[in-house]
Amino acid sequence: MAKIPDELTKARVTGAGTLRTEEMILNVGPQHPATHGVLRVIVTLDGERIVEGEPVIGYMHRGHEKLLEQRDFRQITNLLSRMDWLSGINNEIPASIAVEKLMELEVPPRAQYLRVILAEINRILNHLMFTGSFGLELGASTPVMYAFRERELLQEAMEMVTGGRMHFGFIRPGGLKEDVPKGFAERVLKGIRQLIKYIPDYENLLLGNEIFKQRTVDVGILDPELALEYGVSGPILRGSGVPYDVRRTDPYLIYDEFDFDIPVGAKGDAFDRFWVLIQEMRESARIIEQALEGLPPGSHLGQVPKRLTLPEGEIYSRAENPLGELGYYLISNGDAKPYRMKIRTPSFSNVSVAPHLLKGIYVPDMIAILGSMFFVVGDIDR
């Protein structure tokens, strides 16, 4: 190797010590907001280190809360389905529960069971999407292919029931729009059996992968107390070791009848969050199997008046969405429309803690951290 002249190396050494550095502000995003997981973040950089990272939201703000005040209680279902477009059914459920509780409507057992089954299928669909996309964000392009192979079977089952693939609009106050068609149970069982069979593949491809570990272990550690103070929920909070799950702490539908476990992380890093996400699919599959086994015959819709007029009252109705706690604070003044409906979405609270996680890290870690926050922009902005 040619010898480097002395003056050149000297210049480099002295230069690094006396060079005046200044912070640079880098704008990340936004791309088209409907693209998966794009968030605008303004980062202040000192070299490759992030001094400060501040998410800028609102590019997808559609004014759901205002629009809901213009629609009656049956119409809001279809609007809410579009909020977090990966979990349509889950968005619809707590809204119907709020109406049912205020009106004291009876929901038949079959509808309760089917709601659980559809909600858990939707949870798996959501988790499979993030399983694939998190791999992509870290440069692994194979897992997404596997994830979509399993996803398609369950997606077809949903399509068979609701006719839709994303915005289902299937939950009605008092029950469901329709009963499930013949052959639904077999189709779902086929889907979840294939999923259970291949989950070890995802674990080997990602969780057991040395490169994946180096990108995620000890990266973006979220302190459980800080997470709670920000109202972080779902797999992100459980990744930090807090076993908070609305299905357990404030059971709705008939979740207290099923046997399932709550996976929690130990350290609260990106790896743990992703680990929790994968394990939750197993638990959802367990719930679906139990619910299909116990599915009672009967009506899919209770006695519901043609015109839904709610009595005066207020209720905070919540559910465990795939991404965390979704809640509706519904205020009714006795009209056919909500007087006010505050939407508390999981992604909003989850992403609000991001500035803490982005402080002092290196730029490539930002992608691993934001990817492991599992958010949907439509769910942040509403």
Partner 1 sequence: MATTKRFPRSSERVEPEAFSERVRSKLGNAAGEVQVRFNQVIVSAEPGRIVDIMSTLKGDPELRCDYFTFLSAVDLQEEGLEVIAAVSSTRFENTVIVKVALPSEDPSLASVTGVYAGANWHERECAEMFGITFEGHPNLVKLYLPEDFEGHPLLKSFKLASRTYKPWPGATEPDEAAGGGRS
Residues binding partner 1 (CB under 8 A): 57-58, 61, 63, 65-67, 70, 72, 101, 177-178, 225-226, 228-233, 239, 242-245, 248-250, 261-267, 272, 275-276, 279, 283, 301, 306-307, 314-316, 325, 327, 329, 331, 339-340, 342, 344, 348-349, 352-353, 381
Minimum Å distance from CB 145 to partner 1? 26
Give whole-number Cα distances, 363 to 44, 221, 377, in Å. Answer: 10, 16, 21
Minimum Å distance from CB 39 to partner 1? 13
Task: Find residue 324's DSSP bridge partners.
Answer: 321
Query: Residue 82 or 177: which CB sits closer to partner 1?
Result: 177
Query: Residue 68 or 129: which CB sits closer to partner 1?
Result: 68
Length of the chain counted residue by residue = 382
Query: Residue 14 or 249: which CB sits closer to partner 1?
Result: 249
| DSSP assigned state of 256 | G
What is the rounded distance in angstroms from the CA atom of residue 141 to the CA atom of residue 134? 10
Minimum Å distance from CB 348 to partner 1? 7
- Do the strands 171-172 and 49-56 form a parallel or antiparallel pair, or are they unpaired? unpaired
Q: Please tell me whether residue 49 adopts helix, strand or coil conformation.
A: strand
Minimum Å distance from CB 233 to partner 1? 8
Query: Residue 61 or 193: which CB sits closer to partner 1?
Result: 61
What is the rounded distance in angstroms from the CA atom of residue 309 to the CA atom of residue 318? 21
Query: Residue 144 or 310: which CB sits closer to partner 1?
Result: 310
The backbone region for 169, taken as left when phi is positive above 0, alpha when psi lies in -120 to 50, beta otherwise, is left
Judge contact between 86 and 125, C-beta under 8 A: yes
Residues 6+ apart with CB under 8 A from 177: 162, 169, 170, 171, 301
What is the rounded distance in angstroms from the CA atom of residue 119 to the CA atom of residue 168? 11
Chain centroid to Cα 222, Å, comes to 17
> Both ends of the chain: CA-CA distance in Å?
61
Query: Residue 147 or 276: which CB sits closer to partner 1?
Result: 276
CA trace torsion 11, 14, 16, 17 (10° rounding) = -170
At residue 337, φ and ψ (nearest 5 deg) are -120, 155
Judge contact between 174 and 301, C-beta under 8 A: yes
Minimum Å distance from CB 62 to partner 1? 10
Judge contact between 175 and 300, C-beta under 8 A: yes
What number of other Cβ atoms are within 10 A of residue 293's Cβ? 10
Minimum Å distance from CB 240 to partner 1? 10
Minimum Å distance from CB 382 to partner 1? 9
Minimum Å distance from CB 165 to partner 1? 20
Query: Residue 34 or 145: which CB sits closer to partner 1?
Result: 34
Query: Residue 146 or 274: which CB sits closer to partner 1?
Result: 274
Minimum Å distance from CB 7 to partner 1? 50
Query: Residue 142 or 303: which CB sits closer to partner 1?
Result: 303
